[in-house]
Amino acid sequence: MSQNVPSHPLNARIRETLSMALQVPADEIDEDLAFGDIPQWDSMGHMEVMMRLEEFFGIEINADTIATLTSFTAIRQYLENNHSGAST
């Protein structure tokens, strides 16, 4: 993980969500973070991330989409493209 996440409101919310779901300090989460990069983001951690995203953003994520949301960037792009209310 090489850079800090810019302070864009959506990035901050994703960072908080990943921090809580994976039980790691928020300062360890950056835009390069992806499934498998840290021990906590394994298959069980991934399901926790999906549940937290649904809870925090008030969305439902279908099974096909779960398999694609395997990085910070993929999560941000999904939220930006599919959930207009997520960017606030």
pTM: 0.85
In a domain, 1, yes or no: no
Total structural domains within the chain? 1
CATH for 59: 1.10.1200.10
In a domain, 82, yes or no: yes
Identify the CA nearest to 75 among candidates 56, 53, 44. 53
Range of 52's domain?
A: 14-87
In a domain, 33, yes or no: yes
Distances (CA, A) of 41 to 19, 20, 78, 80, 82: 11, 12, 19, 22, 23
DSSP assignment string, 19-81: HHHHT--GGG--TT-BTTSSTTSSHHHHHHHHHHHHHHHT----HHHHTT--BHHHHHHHHHH
pLDDT per residue as tens, the chain (88 positions)? 444 444 578 999 999 999 999 999 999 999 999 999 999 999 999 999 999 999 999 999 999 999 999 999 999 999 999 886 554 4
